[in-house]
Chains A and B, each alone.
Chain A
Amino acid sequence: MKTLVRSSVFRASWASPRRLLQAAVLMVVTTLFLGAGDDARFQMLGHKLMCVCGCNQILLECNHVGCSYSTRMREELAEATERHENDDLTLQVFVQKYGPTVIAAPTVTGFNIVAWIMPFVVLLAGIALVVYVVRTWRNRPPPSPPGGVGPASGADLDKYRELARSETEL
């Protein structure tokens, strides 16, 4: 499959941009399908679930031999992926059986959305604050130097700055 995809990319690259686009779409779709194999789905879903034995570990990372939960849960997950149930349904079955804490991260529904968007809201608010602070500091009048000497012009300042740098930056 991979060989086919690669060869189509090569052929398309020598043809028209349209063919190139088609090949790219084909490659993405194929990659998605490749990633959606039973084992990959098992791995992906197994990392979205927690072991509920109290070890606080991701289901596929619980390493307790004889753990009464993780072995059974893994078997249930493997069966679900073999039945080709969709991901949401599979996860929902686990929630019904083991409770909402079996999902390893908050879902993007209801109050949980707060957890997902808050950091970015804080980031944006922080950027706005930084911009405001920078503008305020920029607009502040320059302090008068002691002795009453007026502030140097931009050209003088650049000259001093270059001098300072050349003499102190080793």
Chain B
Amino acid sequence: MAQFSGLAVCLVFLQDAPNIGDTWSNFFMAHAAQLGSFFLLLALALSIYSFAAGALALLERDPASDRLGETARRAGIATFFLVLLAAVTLVTAAFQDNFSLAYIFHHSNRDLPAPYKFAVLWSGQEGSLLFWTMLLSTYGLVLRLRHKTDTRLFAHASVIIAAVQIFFLLLVNFAAHPFAVMQGELPLDGSGLNPLLQYPEMVIHPPMLYLGYVGFTVPFAFGLGALIMRYPGEKWIHITRRWTMVTWAFLSIGISLGSHWAYNVLGWGGYWAWDPVENASFMPWLTGLAFLHSVMMQEKRGMLKIWNVWLVFSTFLLSILGTFLTRSGVISSVHAFAQSSIGDWFLVFLGITLSVCLFVFFKNISHLQTEHRLEAVVSRESSFLFNNLLLLVLCFIVLLGTFFPVVHEAIVGSKVTVGPEFYNKEAIPIALLLLLLTAVGPLLSWRKTSVDSLRRNFLWPSVGALVVAACLIVVIRPWLHWSFLFSLTAIALASLVIFTISSEFIRGGRVISRHTGQNLLVSISQLGRRNTRRYGGYIAHIGFVVVIIGIAGSEFNRDKEMEMGYGDKLQIGSYELVCRSYTQEDKPNYGSEWAILEVFQDGKQIDTMYPERRFFKASQQTATMVAKRSTLKEDLYVVYEGLNQDTGRPIIKVHVNPLVVWIWIGVFILLTGVGLAMLPNTAPVAATVPARVQTAPAGAGD
């Protein structure tokens, strides 16, 4: 009978086949709030079960506990699907212009283009927390599906992830509910999306950044889990390192896309303003990077165990701190899109997490004893210690600068601003030391490096860097301004890094070439594939210094502002801009004003540029669309600042920013290096060495 009724329902649906779409659409439209809320509540219940049952199963070691643990794992997997359904419901509501949901009303409007309706999911407080929860569930899903790698360690990690999930699901259920319903009469149209977010990169920047932020939960879960279970051996550190690389790469992509967006949209000519929210993403990036270096000490030499555990903990805690900064409004920031009272929730969560970390750490500290002794001061081990020190000091500078206004107000009673000048003066000397260490590090061997070999390997790169420095002195003339000296030093040290790494590639390539008879380039390529981790790391270092070269160019930025009528000319550097026209345009989502500028260089027209300013109707806000001409040497960056109300003519600001494109090229190289380092070696490195030396194979040095 039951089957018959099911069949009847199916037949009714088939008869109405053309209308099924409409039926579902109407159903979603009418019940989006209930559906979304139901999915989130059920996800919370399953997360609690996954945590409680998983923890219970870990306390006992018998077949019944194993079955209980398996149900916990499956509940964790089911959580992912429920959170995904909640997210789909919210996005569907955005596409349906369902303004009965307060979130959709506040962050969307009818004429918003489709890709931005998709981006509505992470454009506001509630949606972005739901998005965060969804990504966390996705990471949890991958981890739980791969549980056979090491069942017990993964079960511990799964329980910890479930605990973090509970916190975020509590938030989206009770503190920042994305399915809250509008009260009173339904509005005809929404308030629209923040115009600054209506830019293609904004569709991809937050997901990447969140993948980085959220991803650090996984290394944290493995670290804490391994410590709780007093994991024997170093396998957990291999797993953690791989996850950290993935999440760190996502965070790098997110940060660089954010910088690129700021450069192209905000229209002030820069890409990094040391805003508290930018700093919030930079801090876990730095500690994550420190971990990726120091973890090698543990893998190869059994050293720095306590340090590594705390780096993993700190990176996760800084991610949560960053979220707290973004959401709480405790520090004023240009990223004020999501300020509310949920900061208290994050503070409590931070406090609980830190307490758990401290408790587990002190309970199991005896498990974290260093196994080996340091044989020589001049060794790769020492270089990693100093590398970590410098990265952590950089992180401290960013943390201090971010919180100093709050501390100052609490102690002195008045506010203070901590702007770029502070960060530049404090961080640049440390960054230069780090650059020097990046140059020397690859030349140092594990255990011990003879001063002779260091001198031999360092000689030619140093000569090369000195030649570069000499050429730069002529070009840059550092005596004109003290900051030019920093740029010169940065570029000279960057070239030193490139030369030392190149010499490493050439030396290795020659050995292969000698053995195989292949030419040097083929040998170098084979070298990279044979030891992906080491040479991928070197490529990432090259990417890093290329970014530094791009940043060093900012000391030579120039700009000029001018009101430009028809035929007016503006001269800046080697460029001459001539205003041919300026006009207005009306589109459904926005109205715009823009100018047509012809660009001449050496008397020849090289381009036509169209800087624009948009006025978004729904939100009643404006945004600039910068016109940009990038070359390897410099960017010509043109901003339409607006119309002079008295004369009716546009005000144009032009920047010439040297070397900016190298920042984006550098990021690409860096990510290529990270990607290569994550690949398995294509051909195993044959190493026939005496047993005693196998504890730290020299060839695996990276």
Report which A residues bind B (CB closer than 8 A): 27-28, 31, 35, 47-48, 50, 55-58, 61-63, 65-66, 99-106, 110-112, 115-116, 118-119, 122-123, 126-127, 129-130, 133-134, 137-143, 145, 149, 152, 160-161, 163-165, 167-170
Contact = CB atoms under 8 A, between A and B. Distances in A.
Nearest to B481: A35
B692 A145 contact: yes
B: interface residue count bin: 35 or more
Contacts of A140: 373-374
A79 to B, nearest CB: 18
Nearest to B404: A115
Nearest to B393: A123
Contact of B420 (A104, A118, A134): A104
Nearest to B394: A119
A161 B386 contact: no
B451 interface: no
B422 interface: yes
A23 B396 CA distance: 43
B525 to A, nearest CB: 12
B436 interface: no
Contacts of B686: 167
Contacts of B333: 56
A123 B408 contact: no
Contact of B371 (A63, A99, A115, A143): A143
A37 to B, nearest CB: 13
Residue from B269, B377, B530, B693 having most chain A Cβ neighbours under 10 A:
B693
B117 interface: no
Given A61-B269, A115-B418, A161 B448 contact: yes
Nearest to B691: A145
B698 A110 contact: no
Contact of B396 (A57, A122, A143): A122
A137 B303 contact: yes
A102 B270 CA distance: 20
A111 B685 CA distance: 57
B342 interface: no
A137 B374 contact: yes
23 contacts: A35-B480, A47-B421, A50-B417, A61-B268, A65-B641, A66-B642, A100-B414, A104-B420, A111-B412, A115-B404, A115-B418, A116-B426, A129-B389, A130-B385, A134-B385, A152-B692, A160-B689, A161-B698, A167-B688, A168-B687, A168-B700, A169-B699, A170-B512
Contacts of A106: 404, 408, 416-418, 422
B261 to A, nearest CB: 16
A167 B689 contact: yes
A138 B376 CA distance: 7
B464 interface: no
A105 B419 contact: yes
B1 interface: no
Interface string B413-439: 011111111100110001000000000
Contact of A101 (B415, B420, B422, B430): B415
Contacts of B374: 134, 137-138, 140
A134 B414 CA distance: 43
Contact of A112 (B273, B408, B512, B692): B408
Contact of A119 (B375, B397, B697): B397
B479 interface: yes
Contacts of A170: 508, 511-512, 527, 530-531, 685, 699
A2 B531 CA distance: 54
A9 B687 CA distance: 60
A138 B624 contact: no
B642 A65 contact: yes
Contacts of B303: 137
Given A47-B421, A56-B332, A130-B389, A168 B641 contact: no
B400 interface: yes
Nearest to B373: A140
Contacts of B512: 170
Contacts of B699: 164-165, 167-170
A164 B268 contact: no
B334 A119 contact: no
A63 B624 contact: yes
B534 to A, nearest CB: 10
Given A57-B268, A161-B693, A168-B687, A104 B421 contact: yes
The 9 closest A-B pairs by CB, nearest first: A168-B699, A65-B642, A137-B374, A104-B419, A140-B373, A105-B421, A168-B687, A105-B422, A126-B389
A48 B420 CA distance: 9
A168 B688 CA distance: 8
Contacts of A58: 419-420
A112 to B, nearest CB: 7
Nearest to A57: B268
Contact of B415 (A100, A138, A142, A149): A100
